[in-house]
Amino acid sequence: MANTLLMPKATAVWLVDNTALSFEQIAQFCGLHPLEVKAIADGESAQGIKGMDPIMTGQLSRDEIARAEKDPNHRLKLSDPKVRVPESKRKGPRYTPLSKRQDRPNAILWLVRNHPELKDAQIARLVGTTKSTIDQIRDRKHWNSANLQPMDPVTLGLASQIDLDMEVNRASRGREQAQPAGDTLLPAALTERLVPAPEKPKDEDAELDANAVFAKLSALKSKDEDKDDEA
Q: What is the residue extent of each domain of the chain?
A: 8-70, 98-172
pLDDT at residue number 192? 56
Cut 0.75: pTM above it: no
Q: What is the pLDDT of residues 5-18, one digit of tens each?
A: 778 888 999 999 99
pLDDT at residue number 12? 92
The model's confidence at residue 165, banded by pLDDT at 50, 70 and 90, is: confident
Contact 178, 124 (CB under 8 A): no
Q: What is the arithmetic mean of pLDDT over 199-205? A: 53
How high does pLDDT run on average in the chain?
A: 76
Kindly tell me if the per-residue pLDDT of 202 is higher than 60. Answer: no
pLDDT at residue number 195? 54
The model's confidence at residue 79, banded by pLDDT at 50, 70 and 90, is: confident
pLDDT at residue number 198? 58
Q: What is the pLDDT of residues 21-77, one digit of tens each?
A: 999 999 999 988 999 999 998 888 877 788 889 998 888 999 999 999 999 999 998
The pair phi, psi for residue 198, each rounded to 5°, is -65, 140
Query: Between 140 and 190, where is the model more confident?
Result: 140
pLDDT at residue number 75? 92
Q: What is the pLDDT of residues 211-226, one digit of tens each?
A: 666 666 676 666 656 5
Q: In the chain, pLDDT over 90 holds for what percent of residues?
A: 25
Q: What is the arithmetic mean of pLDDT over 161-185? A: 68
Q: What is the arithmetic mean of pLDDT over 84-92? A: 48
Taking the C-alpha atoms of residue 135 and residue 128, their distance in angstroms, rounded to an integer, is 14
